[in-house]
Amino acid sequence: MTGTGTDTIEDAEDAEDAEEPLTDGGAAGADEVALDPWGSSSVSDYRKLFEEFGIEEFDELLADLPHPHYLMRRGVIFGHRDYRPVLEAMREGDPFAVLSGFMPTGDPHIGHKLVFDEIIWHQEQGGDAYALIADLEAHAARGLTWDEIDEHARDYLLSLLALGFDLEDGTVYRQSTEREVQDLAFELGIEANFSELGAIYGFDGETDVSHMQSVVTQMADILYPQLEGPKPTVIPVGPDQDPHVRLARDLASRMRYFGVTTAYASFEATEDELSVIGAAYDARESYADDPDQPRCVEAAQWLESGGTGVTEVETVEEDARDRAISKLENAGMEPLRPRTRFLNRRATEEAFEALIDTVEGEKRVFDEHVDAFDLDHDEAAEIARTIELAHDGYGFQPPSSIYHRFMTGLTGGKMSSSIPASHISLLDDPEDGYDKVKAATTGGRETAELQRELGGRADECPVYELYAYLLAGDDDEFAKRVYDECVGGERLCGDCKEQAAHLMKEFLREHQEKREEVADLLEAADIELESPRRG
Ligand code: TRP
Ligand code: SF4
């Protein structure tokens, strides 16, 4: 699931208590895993996602987005990883892509609609749009048969098209038939090993090989839009998918032929050592015999004696300082001199040779790196990517993501596919949709008098969520009016639900009509609707 409410995530403290039976090495076995793509629990505190996982707050980007979607404006899309490059591309009219995937394990429901809408919105903003059916994952990780998968896959795709996905301009595919995805997955698998998957997902010796393969397949999905050339790509998902996003970002960098860093001498240094050495370089006036040519050993002595007055040096971990000092000491009389370094990570021999030839100005060539003295970081990064692409490399950019909140179930608690009354399927009979909303739990008070006096609790009300996430559509004023009237005590739950139920019925009716209208489009589309696979 794309984190749509049926799949929810464990918050860090609850992770160990989760007692979901896991048949083939899901994440609950690993204490340190708190975001679980195949688990089942709920986010109790979104703030933790920022603090513990480094997800960034989406709000901070809102002002820079030309026409934010209502899900962004209303905080339903609450977090992101590295969305800026996508935002910039959108503003500049440069290429960018959006991709998400759906495990066809049941009917598409109103939680999935959030993701459909996110894909479609990015497509409307000029992005290359991709939607995929994660059938391999559903088969391997959830044990669905191919017949079941085919049926659900068609339903997801019909709803996606009915909501406005433009097939002429966008791409839909299923994992099982997309040869390029399989091939890319195989290549990516070379950069990921079992211990790593174990640490991330809690896989162990009992985990099915195909389940693991579905992970590298998802990595390939996420990078697929960049097979046509590197570009910013956003993956809209629920926060339960964040481990996948982090791994994909890692793999994207690991696949690169060259790394580009700054260096000050011929030896290699880690990021934290570099910040110490950089600070020592900046302070050269205060210790070098000849400040035009400070020596490594002089910098080492200065650092040894405390390197006073320089915050970078004082705040960095002692350990990094010691490592920097010993490297500088070893380099002895070598001059300390800033340069841009190309590290050879996994380039072919020809690509490395070509890089060496391309670097202009003063350069120094080592076994596994080239130092350029007349190039800044951005120029160097550009050269590195160009050479990589010219020599059969991918040149991937790390993919970005946006995260939306899970919807609360209509019966309170979490929205779950296995509790029909808790969610509304996009295929529900409109009358049933109406009834489910009428029967929903609310944030209302015990009596009408109390409600008038104290106001309702819209923030804890699944019915208000329906308005904000779906029923109010783009109409912010309407959503706000419902909210204000509720908390102001002017709105009573009976009428409020009646209105919501009616809107839901209308929505379902129209949506289902549109599904029928787009059926032919889907038949004509370049996607296999019936899998020839067995089992
Ligand atoms: N794992 C996702 C889910 O459980 C489905 C998926 C497969 C996906 N490939 C993807 C999601 C690529 C986003 C991007 O729903
Ligand atoms: Fe929820 Fe509406 Fe009742 Fe407010 S009035 S608590 S929004 S059902």
Size (the chain), residues: 535
| pLDDT at res. 19 | 34
Pocket test for ligand 1, best of 102, 149, 156, 404 (most atoms within 8 A of CB): 102
What is the whole-number distance in angstroms between the Cα of residue 100 and the centre of ligand 1? 6
Which ligand lies nearest the alpha carbon of 448?
2
Helices (H), 103-241: 110-124, 135-142, 146-162, 179-189, 194-201, 209-223
Backbone angle region of 392, left / alpha / beta, with phi > 0 → left and psi within -120 to 50 → alpha: left
What is the whole-number distance in angstroms between the Cα of residue 5 and the centre of ligand 2? 21
Q: What is the 3-state secondary structure (H, E, C) of 210-239?
A: HHHHHHHHHHHHHHHHHHHCCCCEEEEECH
| Residue whose pair of structure tokens reads 């996982």 in the numeric block | 53
Which ligand lies nearest the alpha carbon of 245?
1
What is the whole-number distance in angstroms between the Cα of residue 455 and the centre of ligand 2? 9
**How open is the CA angle 421-23-138, to the nearest 5 degrees?**
60
The percent helix, strand, coil of the chain (3-state, each to 5) is: 50, 10, 40
Which ligand lies nearest the alpha carbon of 481?
2
Nearest CA to ligand 2 atom 5: 493
Nearest CA to ligand 1 atom 4: 1
What is the whole-number distance in angstroms between the Cα of residue 15 and the centre of ligand 2? 32
Residues in the ligand 1 pocket, defined by CB under 6 Å: 1-2, 37, 99-101, 103, 132, 134, 137, 218, 221-222, 235, 237, 241
| pLDDT at res. 341 | 97
DSSP state of 446: S
Contact 404, 118 (CB under 8 A): yes
What is the whole-number distance in angstroms between the Cα of residue 456 and the centre of ligand 2? 6
Helices (H), 229-332: 242-254, 271-282, 296-304, 311-315, 318-331
Domains annotated for the chain, with CATH where assigned, are 2-11+38-256+397-404 (3.40.50.620), 259-390 (no CATH), 420-524 (1.10.240.10)
Average pLDDT of the chain is: 91
Angle between helices 110-124 and 146-162 (to 10 degrees): 50
What is the whole-number distance in angstroms between the Cα of residue 103 and the centre of ligand 1? 7
In DSSP terms, which residues pair with 240 in a beta bridge?
none
Pocket test for ligand 2, best of 478, 491, 499 (most atoms within 8 A of CB): 491
Q: Which atom of ligand 2 is nearest to the CA of 440?
A: 8
Pocket test for ligand 1, best of 98, 137, 175, 211 (most atoms within 8 A of CB): 137
Pocket test for ligand 2, best of 411, 452, 461, 498 (most atoms within 8 A of CB): 461
What is the chain's alpha carbon radius of gyration, rounded to the nearest angstrom? 27
What is the whole-number distance in angstroms between the Cα of residue 502 and the centre of ligand 1? 33
> What is the torsion angle, in degrees rounded to the nearest 10, for the CA atoms of residue 72, residue 74, residue 80 and residue 84?
40
User: Rounded to an integer, what distance in angstroms lies between the CA atom of residue 153 and that of residue 516?
Assistant: 15
| pLDDT at res. 27 | 39
| pLDDT at res. 310 | 64
What is the whole-number distance in angstroms between the Cα of residue 118 and the centre of ligand 2? 26
Which ligand lies nearest the alpha carbon of 482?
2
C-alpha dihedral sign at 508, 510, 514, 516: positive
What is the whole-number distance in angstroms between the Cα of residue 138 and the centre of ligand 1? 10
Nearest CA to ligand 2 atom 8: 493
Nearest CA to ligand 1 atom 6: 101
For residue 202 the two structure tokens come to 């809690």
Which ligand lies nearest the alpha carbon of 437?
2
Which ligand lies nearest the alpha carbon of 248?
1
Which ligand lies nearest the alpha carbon of 484?
2
Contact 361, 290 (CB under 8 A): no
Nearest CA to ligand 2 atom 4: 486
Q: Which atom of ligand 1 is nearest to the CA of 244?
A: 1
What is the whole-number distance in angstroms between the Cα of residue 201 and the centre of ligand 1? 14
Pocket test for ligand 1, best of 4, 6, 8, 103 (most atoms within 8 A of CB): 103
- Summarised one tens digit per residue, pLDDT across range 425-482 is 999 999 999 999 999 999 999 999 999 999 999 999 999 999 999 999 999 999 999 9
Work out the burial of residue 454: count CB atoms within 10 Å of its CB; fewer than 13 is exposed, 13-18 middle, 19 or more buried.
exposed
Non-local (6+) Cβ contacts of 516 within 8 A are none
Which ligand lies nearest the alpha carbon of 445?
2
Q: Which atom of ligand 1 is nearest to the CA of 38?
A: 4
Residues in the chain predicted with pLDDT less than 50, given as ranges, are: 1-33, 41
Non-local (6+) Cβ contacts of 309 within 8 A are 283
Residues in the ligand 2 pocket, defined by CB under 6 Å: 442-444, 456-458, 461, 463-464, 486, 491, 493, 496-497
Q: Which atom of ligand 1 is nearest to the CA of 141?
A: 4
Q: Which atom of ligand 2 is nearest to the CA of 483?
A: 7
Task: List the 363-365 sheet strands across, edge first.
Answer: 258-263, 339-344, 369-372, 363-365
End-to-end CA distance of the chain: 21
Q: Collapsing DSSP states into helix, strand and coil, what is residue 122?
A: helix
